[in-house]
Structure 1
């Protein structure tokens, strides 16, 4: 196989165009022969060979759109092959050499390389296949490179269904971008709504649980109140019964006898106490008389001692006796 063929990517698509995807540079496909290029653009050559003499702007526009579509298909195949090889090379390079290798080898940015590897991971197969043998891609409807790139915004497990539902093959780039954006926005709003619904459901469940708990406590209090009322009525009935029994006892002969006996006993106790006081008074009177006589005898013999005891006796009879009788 001769020198690698070089393909220039013209700015044919609006918005996310092919030249922008590949950093507006030339890129080389190792192993892509001139025969492969001719094979990939065979449809375009047929169109140009079938030119009619009646050339009109609509006819020319149709031819250009056909060439754009076929070129996009070829670029998708090429991007898958490049992504496969970039992924292989990244696994072989030492840590930190990836960006330098991309710049020196292809003038690729790491962002461009990542995009190409994502294209391979989404639409290619793990096998390394030469372009002459025909690229092996996943079973998806016909897509061009730009469409495939936009569809990376759809999760892999949902991509095929999304393509089938919206007839992606016949959508413009702008329409497809809007469809993907609307779909993602709808999912975001759905997830937000589900979250809000979950939060509301949790709040509702908490309120239901709280109401159930309060209802249970209320029923317990009602039961307790009924029990207390019943107990109060029983106590009131018991009180009436006891009062009636007490009244009956008071009216009985035995109760009256006991009352009279207690009265006589109290009178006897009071009389005994009075007799004891009288006895003690008589004893005190005799003692005072004897004390007075002895003090007179002492006054003549020992005036100083007499005076000391005289004061003690007076203090006892006035202050001391008064304090003792008030206790």
Structure 2
């Protein structure tokens, strides 16, 4: 009977039995590693401070690095926590050996589960799993870099849009001011022409005065008055032309506005110093000295 049984068995049958035993051994080993690691975590709290290495080597024959790996495996794979897909760590990794588990320790639980779902980990060597982990990390790093680059690009785009909107608003404001200055310039120019015409007409009307002395005095008064009005109109027109030129140059307009602000601030500063001098002369003098030095230095730097 034994001879028949022996001849009925095949290579495939025996191989299947060996593989089954191997799987059972792996599961037993996995559970043993988790159990040992769990107890190492427990006993570490009991061993006196500074005696841990001696305890491991003398009582258990473990190197500190080996014990550390057992404890890490217990923490990462021994919680029996069931995921949303209904699997627990032992179901996914229970057939892995000690060397196969070590590379997976560097991954978060979610990433480990993803690798287990996408690959036949039990059939892979520890080096293959290590390479798989390396590729996983590299892919995640590239994804993180791409996401970071995308965020920076979005931020740069938003900043550019804000700058563009600000530039458009500044340009519109400059154009509006330029338009108003052009109107003012045209008005002053027209007023100047009107004054010149009035001056010529006044001279002609003054010629009908019968008294020569009175006539000459009237003419001179009219000329003086009209020349004064013409000079004022010319000065206003010249100032308007200057403002118009600045308005057409946004950068020059910006500098001019800042200069006007500085003049206004200087005036307020002088008033504040005058008030301070009435109550605290010494303090006011110190401020004057410091401010004077500052303005002198800035003046030299801007030349």
Give the TM-score taking structure 2 as reference length. 0.57
Q: Any residues of structure 2 matched to 1:166-315 within 5 Å, and which? A: 166-169=119-122, 171-253=124-206, 258-261=214-217
Question: Quick one: distance in 2 between partners of 1:165 and 1:219?
Answer: 60
Superposition deviation, residue 202 in structure 1: 2.4
Question: Quick one: distance in 1 between partners of 2:53 and 2:120?
Answer: 38
Q: Structure 2 vs 1, CA of residues 150 and 156 (structure 1 numbering), >3 Å: closer, same or farther?
A: same
For structure 1, which runs of at least 5 residues remain unmatched after alignment?
1-50, 127-136, 264-327
Superposition deviation, residue 239 in structure 1: 0.8
Contact 2:206 / 2:218 at 8 angstroms: preserved in 1?
no
Superposition deviation, residue 213 in structure 1: 1.8
Question: Quick one: distance in 1 between partners of 2:187 and 2:172?
Answer: 23
Superposition deviation, residue 82 in structure 1: 0.7
Contact 2:206 / 2:215 at 8 angstroms: preserved in 1?
no
Please tell me the root mean square deviation across aligned C-alpha atoms, in Å: 3.3
Q: Relative to total residues, which structure has the larger helix share, 1 or 2?
A: 2
Superposition deviation, residue 138 in structure 1: 4.8
Question: Which of 68, 83, 94 in structure 1 is aligned with 2:37?
Answer: 83
Secondary structure, counterpart of 1:140 in structure 2: helix
Q: Structure 2 vs 1, CA of residues 210 and 75 (structure 1 numbering), >3 Å: closer, same or farther?
A: same
Are residues 1:143 and 2:99 paired?
no
Which structure would you say has the larger Rg?
A: 1
Superposition deviation, residue 57 in structure 1: 7.2
Contact 1:249 / 1:255 at 8 angstroms: preserved in 2?
no
Secondary structure, counterpart of 1:99 in structure 2: helix
Aligned counterpart, 1:100:
54
Secondary structure, counterpart of 2:174 in structure 1: helix
Contact 1:76 / 1:148 at 8 angstroms: preserved in 2?
no
For structure 2, which runs of at least 5 residues remain unmatched after alignment?
81-87, 220-303
Aligned counterpart, 2:75:
121
Secondary structure, counterpart of 1:186 in structure 2: helix
Superposition deviation, residue 83 in structure 1: 0.5
